[in-house]
Amino acid sequence: MSRLFRDVQGGPLCPQGSVACIGAFDGLHLGHRALVRQAAGRARELGVRAVAVSFEPLPREFFASAAPPPRLTLPRARFEGLRALGVDVVGLLRFDGKLARMAADDFVRDALVGRLRACEVWVGPGFRFGHARGGDLATLQTMGAGLGFTAHAIDPVLLDGERVSSTRVRAALQAGDFALATRLLGRPYAVGGHVVRGAQLGRTLGYPTANLRFDRKVPALSGIYAVRVHGLGTEAKPAVASFGTRPTVDGREPLLEAHLFDFDGDLYGRRIEVEFVARLRDEEKFPDLPTLVAQMHRDAEQARAILESPRKAYA
């Protein structure tokens, strides 16, 4: 069972030592996975805890709060993904004004040495940290020589000659290129969460939906999609989904609404995962509900056709 911590200051979490890796880990793409596996592997060799340190909110969200950048992965999915990669302790540090002002040297002393007793620290290529991004790999190596740890950076992970990055994943999703997103992530892109109650308009219109909130984050994609829903038995359920603010009914908060084909059951409170397969169209504001329903019929037919075709064409 992995442990979660949120604060830089506090008592030691790994008294016997740790190998720590640091990153945003948004999406947990192939580059992130290589970094985490390197740290976890070294921790097993040394007989200490494997630790992944990240931030919540992400620093770029904190500094651009008026227009935050798109998010790939919500905190729970990030925690679960890191745990699945063999991490014993996960830090989702509260990124606020105090942490933003913390000098790199203080972060090393308080977090990496004080809390984690790190004996090795691993980062990705070009890693920067601390106030005004004043710290880097050289900072870690210099401080580590005096504080008892070593610091290392993994080599860039490349796909088609270019570095794998969250930026590339977002661009692929926004372009509807789910095949490329799958290759960058090492798995299909999906959003998970507990089904919440909505306004039940879809049920009134003949299209009941399972609704997932996105924690008021900005999603990396929006529109209408053919999807598969996992978590409701051994087989994924085919569905059509809308991800966005529902302009026809003046919605505001991003909501993922999935209509499962040929499924009848109460899903409220169930945890599901919605895998995106193909993009159908943009969100659109319709003049009235009958026009919306007509388009929903067309979307459902198109999604069924895609999902019934050979899987390899879209995966």
The H or E element that residue 21 is part of is strand 18-22
Average pLDDT over residues 239-266: 84
Quick check: 19 and 93 in contact, CB under 8 A?
no
Q: Considering the domain 188-313 in this protein, what is its CATH number? A: 2.40.30.30
Nearest alpha carbon to residue 285 among 246, 244, 242, 243: 246
**What confidence score (pLDDT) does residue 230 get?**
96
Separation of alpha carbons 86 and 34, rounded Å? 12
Quick check: 270 and 218 in contact, CB under 8 A?
no
Q: In what order do the strands lie in the sheet with 3-5?
A: 3-5, 89-94, 49-56, 18-22, 118-123, 150-153
Q: Which of 51-60, 127-136, 248-257, 276-285 comes out lowest in average pLDDT? A: 248-257
**What confidence score (pLDDT) does residue 248 get?**
60
Q: Which of 157-161, 232-236, 265-269 comes out lowest in average pLDDT? A: 265-269
Q: Where are the alpha helices (DSSP H) in the chain?
A: 30-46, 59-63, 75-84, 97-100, 104-107, 137-147, 166-174, 178-185, 201-204, 289-308
Of 209 and 227, more confident: 227
**What confidence score (pLDDT) does residue 312 get?**
47
User: pTM score, two decimals?
Assistant: 0.92
Quick check: 297 and 220 in contact, CB under 8 A?
no
**What confidence score (pLDDT) does residue 281 get?**
96
Question: Which class is domain 3-159?
Answer: alpha beta
**What confidence score (pLDDT) does residue 200 get?**
61
**What confidence score (pLDDT) does residue 251 get?**
64
Average pLDDT over residues 75-82: 96
Torsion angle of the four alpha carbons 60, 64, 68, 74, in this order, in degrees rounded to the nearest 10: 40
Average pLDDT over residues 214-219: 90
The domain spans of the chain are 3-159, 188-313
Confidence of residue 287 (pLDDT cuts 50, 70, 90): confident
Average pLDDT over residues 166-183: 97
- The answer to whether the 3-159 and 188-313 domains have the same CATH topology is no
Confidence of residue 289 (pLDDT cuts 50, 70, 90): confident
Confidence of residue 300 (pLDDT cuts 50, 70, 90): very high
- CA distances (Å), origin 88, targets 45, 84, 113, 257: 14, 10, 17, 34
Task: Write the DSSP string, 124-179.
Answer: -TT-EESGGG-EEHHHHHHHHHHHT-EEEEPPPPEETTEE--HHHHHHHHHTT-HH
Average pLDDT, the chain: 93
